[in-house]
Amino acid sequence: MLNKLESLLATTSIELSLEQKQQLVAYVDMLNKWNKAYNLTSVRDPKQMLVRHIMDSIVVSPFLQGTRFIDVGTGPGLPGIPLAIVRPDSHFTLLDSLGKRVRFLRQVQHELGLTNIEPVQSRVEEFIPEPPFDGVISRAFASLQDMLSWCHHLPKPLEGRFYALKGVLPEDELAQLPAGIVLEKAISLQVAELDEQRHLVILKSN
């Protein structure tokens, strides 16, 4: 698995220490083990998890600005845990409303010794950020409209950003952004061994 991860990483500009690579592989091992009982992801093959969960998450790392992030609807910790491993100087709040997922996140935190994540069980609209975040991240979450509606209170006013990890670029959603929100960038992402479109949509207040 470590060799597989290294060959995938070689297609990117992301450089990681051996410890970081081992943490990513250990996370996939835990995901695979807990998945049998908890049904955390539809991806069953650990090697596919490296592509579809690890690489798919960390390709956005170079585009994140700031050090305090919240991953809303994190599920089993995607993209928050892989990002926390590759960005040890940043802090990630991992928010999910489902208890079994948050229990898994706490076990990952414990086993991998991740001091820069905080798993939280809450509905996103009820979570009070203190202080507000540099970035609000979502992957496979709702539409941009729903994300903005539910998460509007989470980022810092003005300099905070919304990072939506999408497949195909959601042109129709971008055409209907609410007043006060603008598209800063839409970045086409390449994920090794993934023959599907991936985009990072970055939104901010104007």
Averaged pLDDT, 92-116: 97
101 is in an annotated binding site: no
Q: How confident is the model at residue 109 (pLDDT cuts 50, 70, 90)?
A: very high
Torsion angle of C-alpha atoms 66, 72, 76, 82, degrees rounded to 10: -10
Averaged pLDDT, 84-94: 98
111 is in an annotated binding site: no
Q: How far apart are CA 79 and CA 71, in angstroms?
A: 7
- End-to-end CA gap in the chain: 44
73 is in an annotated binding site: yes
- Which residue, chain included where needed, has tokens 């597989």? 4
Q: Residue 170, preceding bond cis, omega within 30 degrees?
A: no
- Which residue, chain included where needed, has tokens 């600005």? 65
Structure-token pair, residue 126: 């009820």
24 is in an annotated binding site: no
Q: What is the CATH number of domain 1-205?
A: 3.40.50.150
**Average pLDDT score, the chain:** 96
pLDDT of the residue at 141: 77
113 is in an annotated binding site: no
